[in-house]
Amino acid sequence: MVHLPLSVSKQFEGRTGKLIWDAIEEVDWSVGQILKTVKELGIDKKTLVIFTSDNGAAVGSSLPLRSRKGSVYDGGIREPTVMWWPGKVPPGKVCHEVAASIDLLPTLAKLSGGKLSD
């Protein structure tokens, strides 16, 4: 949603003075709605939620990392990832290991009992 062409719903339009930040606020709100629904349905203890990105900052800064989107420096290719799974992922736990989003497929397949082809 926070890629070109940018847009937001009427509810979030003009909230921050910058369209990109309005879009980010709407994404944040949407994630909150998803988590609220997962809890209301009583499936939060068996639901892993992963929120990540595909690149470093497109606008602004990736500090303290060097550079941003479009660069091969850490600021262009490293991004935060947040995982939420009550009872499985401890609140406030920080992992400093390097991983790639490609690592998610085999991990999620194993967690869900799926099989990957050779």
Q: What is the pLDDT of residue 39?
A: 97
Task: Provide the pLDDT for residue 49.
Answer: 95
pLDDT (average), residues 16-30: 94
In this prediction, residue 5 has a pLDDT band, given cuts at 50, 70 and 90, of: confident
- Residue 104: both structure tokens together: 């998610």
**Per-residue pLDDT, 1:** 74
Q: How far is CA 108 from CA 71, 99, 114, 116, in A?
A: 29, 14, 8, 10
Instruction: Please write the tens of the pLDDT for every residue from 28-87.
Output: 999 999 999 999 999 999 999 999 888 888 878 889 999 999 999 999 988 888 999 999
Q: Per the structure block, which two tokens stand in for 93?
A: 């736990």
Amino acid, single-letter form, for residue 19: L
Structure tokens belonging to residue 94 = 């920080």
User: pLDDT: is 102 or 13 the higher one?
Assistant: 13
